[in-house]
Structures are given as structure tokens and as C-alpha cells.
Amino acid sequence: MPDFLDTEHAAVLRTAERLASELTSLTDQAVPADLGAAVRQASKAAGVFGMTQPKAFGGSEAGSLALAIVRDTLGSRNVGHLPGIFGPSPGVLANVDEPLRSQFLLPYLAGEMRSGFGFTEPADAPRHTWAVRDGDELVINGQKSYVTGGADADFINTLVEVDPIGPAMVLIETSRPGVTLERRFGTLDGSHHAVFTFADVRVPAAHVIGEAGRGLRRALSQISATRMAIAADCIGQCRFAIDLVEQSLVERAARRVGGPAKIGTDLERVALGDMRIAAYAARSALYRTARLLDAGENAVNEVMAAKSLATETLSRICDDAVQLVGGTALVEGHPLADILRRVRALRLAEGPTEVLATNVARGRLDLGLGRV
């Protein structure tokens, strides 16, 4: 739990609380066009912007617990999803060698290049995206169907089956001949994605990120970090939604003729109690997992559990919160309506809940891994 923080993490919590207050007042004031720049400036001043960036590039490379504290705190004020809070993090490009380091990683961390992540493929694809080696080049064919931010990306870190070695993450510039942006689309949560096809796309063999054959492992370590980020933000928003419900119950009691003898009906109390119990369990799981990661433990299964618990719990809490607060909560622009849209996407993105459950079972039964 977020209890018993040491001095270092207690300071992180105070910083996050200050930034959360600042971002809350910014969202009240700033016109949308200026919001990103204002958020970035506030986050840089607080020392939060660089927390996801390596020390070698001027960041502070914060640990999992520190990041969970910040995201949980910002989520609890419903500002954690704002763009520009964290600087670009290396993701699968972490620790790459030349020429990828100078040509892509450095400009990417400096905000001069944008990237996408190509993992998901169409269900009817005849074959996973694959490559054959031809001299110093790879020749790539296939399709990726859900590349977030793909339409604006300079390159896509793409999972490719390299014949005959196995899966590899390969950096493919979107400007290469044979790369076609087939379609762009938006989703319920407000994010944008793109479908790409690759037809005999030639990239230097040096564009393999890390070691060929270990691409899936590299992709999954990136996914684990993203799953923790999603979990922490959702946990914060559970508290935000619960606060709104409590405030609504208090206000309703105050409006009742004769004053607030008792806050909430028996049914409302049961619903609120259920929300608090679910949030307590999910929040405990998040902090336990963060501590395991910081201790260097293998916590892949626990991360899946934390992401699944956080997104499912927020989804249920938010749905019940709308019911308790009433119709105003469904009006466009109401924070609960916004959260409901965002969390619906998060139950699928970075691993649908059922896939995570299957993987947790596989971790236990086939690999002897995973805690309860």
C-alpha cells in the first residue's frame, strides 16, 4: 500500500500532490491549444517530466514505486491522462547501440521524432509480419492493424518474425518505400491509430532492436511498463470517482428537508462500501507489484494481475458512480463520462482482461511463476 513510505518516496508523494493541484487549476484555466505546453512546463518544473527518461539523457529514471505514487496521485485528481506530463521514454529502444542510438533514440528522446508500436495484426492475416535477410538488409512483409499515433509516427517499432531466427523488434521508418498507411481511425477513448501494410520493405539489418529471436521478450518488457502506468492511473481515478460519489451523497443529504440526518440510503451505503473495498484491493495490488519490481523480482504475472484489477475495478466503480450520481454524470464533458470512455479502451489495450488471466494461469501451470 502507499502507507509507510520512506523519506524519498514521501517526498515524491508531496511533489505529486503539488503538481496535481497545479494541473487541476491549469485545466480550469488554459485554452486547450496551450494546455500541452503548460502541462509540460509545470511537470518539468516539478521534476516529474524526466522520471521516465534515462539518467544518461538527463532524466531521473525513477523506480516503479515512485512512478506508481505520481500516477496514482495525478489520477486521483483526474489529471494523469493529460499530454506532456512525462517525457518520451525509450521503451523498446532502451540501451540500443549505434546506429539506432544516434539516428533514432536521441532525436526521439529530444521530442524531434515520434514513434509507434506495431504488435497487433488483423485476425485474418495469412501470416504474422515476417522478414527474410538479404545481404545487409531485411525484407519485410505483413500488416499491423492498431498502431497508436501511427499516422504521425516517423518510425514504428514492429514485431517481426525473422526467418529462420524468430521474433525480433525491428525499427521501420514510415517513409520507407513499401510502407503504406492504409487507414487511420479513432477510438471511443479519443485516441488515434493507424493500419499499416509492409510490402517488400527493405531496412538495414542494423534496425533490429536488441537481439533477433528475443523480440517478443523485449516487446513484453515494454508492455509491462505500460501496464503499470495504466494500472496506477486507473487506481488514482478510482479514488477520484469515489470522491465524487461521496460528495454527491453529502450534497443530496444536505438538500433533504430537515437537513443531513444520515448521509446515503442503505443501498447507497452498500454500493459505496463495495466501491471502497474493490479500490482498496486493487490499490494494494498496485503498490505490492511496484515494490516487487523495485526489488528486482520477476513480477510479470503480478503486473498482469495489477493491470487487470485496476482497469476492471475502475470500470465497475465508474459505472456504479454514474448510477449513483445520476444523469448529470453522463452529460458530455462530465469527468465520470470521460473516465468511462477511457477505461473501456484500457480493458482491451495492452492485453485484454481475459488474455491476461490466461497468461497468469499459464505462468503458474507451465512456468511455476506468479504470486497470490
Query: Using the rule CB under 6 A, is 88 a contact of ligand FAD?
Result: no
Residue 361 CB, nearest approach to ligand FAD (Å) = 9
350's grid cell: 495492452
Q: Which residues, numbered 18-77, are part of the site for ligand FAD (CB under 6 A)?
A: none
Closest to ligand FAD by CB, 189 vs 246, is 189
Closest to ligand FAD by CB, 119 vs 198, is 119
Closest to ligand FAD by CB, 73 vs 313, is 313
Residue 42 CB, nearest approach to ligand FAD (Å) = 26
> According to the 3-state scheme, what is the secondary structure of 289-318?
HHHHHHCCCCCHHHHHHHHHHHHHHHHHHH
**Strand partners of residue 159:** 169
Query: Using the rule CB under 6 A, is 154 a contact of ligand FAD?
Result: no
Which of 49, 108, 117, 240 is the binder for ligand FAD (CB under 6 A)?
Answer: 117
Query: Using the rule CB under 6 A, is 119 a contact of ligand FAD?
Result: yes
Residue 12 CB, nearest approach to ligand FAD (Å) = 28
Residue 354 CB, nearest approach to ligand FAD (Å) = 4
Residue 147 CB, nearest approach to ligand FAD (Å) = 5
Give the gyration radius of the chain's Cα atoms.
22
Query: Using the rule CB under 6 A, is 147 a contact of ligand FAD?
Result: yes
Q: Of 354, 263, 278, whose CA–CA distance to 317 is shortest?
A: 278
Closest to ligand FAD by CB, 64 vs 308, is 308
Distance, in Å, from the CA atom of 20 to the CA atom of 5, rounded to the nearest integer, reads 19
Residue 54 CB, nearest approach to ligand FAD (Å) = 22
Q: Which residues, numbered 172-231, are part of the site for ligand FAD (CB under 6 A)?
A: 187, 189, 191
Closest to ligand FAD by CB, 15 vs 157, is 157
Candidate ranges 59-67, 117-125, 316-324, 327-335; the one touching ligand FAD (CB under 6 A)? 117-125
Residue 304 CB, nearest approach to ligand FAD (Å) = 12
Residue 148 CB, nearest approach to ligand FAD (Å) = 3
Query: Using the rule CB under 6 A, is 352 a contact of ligand FAD?
Result: yes
Name the residues that contact ligand FAD, by CB under 6 A.
Answer: 117-120, 123, 146-148, 187, 189, 191, 345, 348-349, 352, 354-355, 358
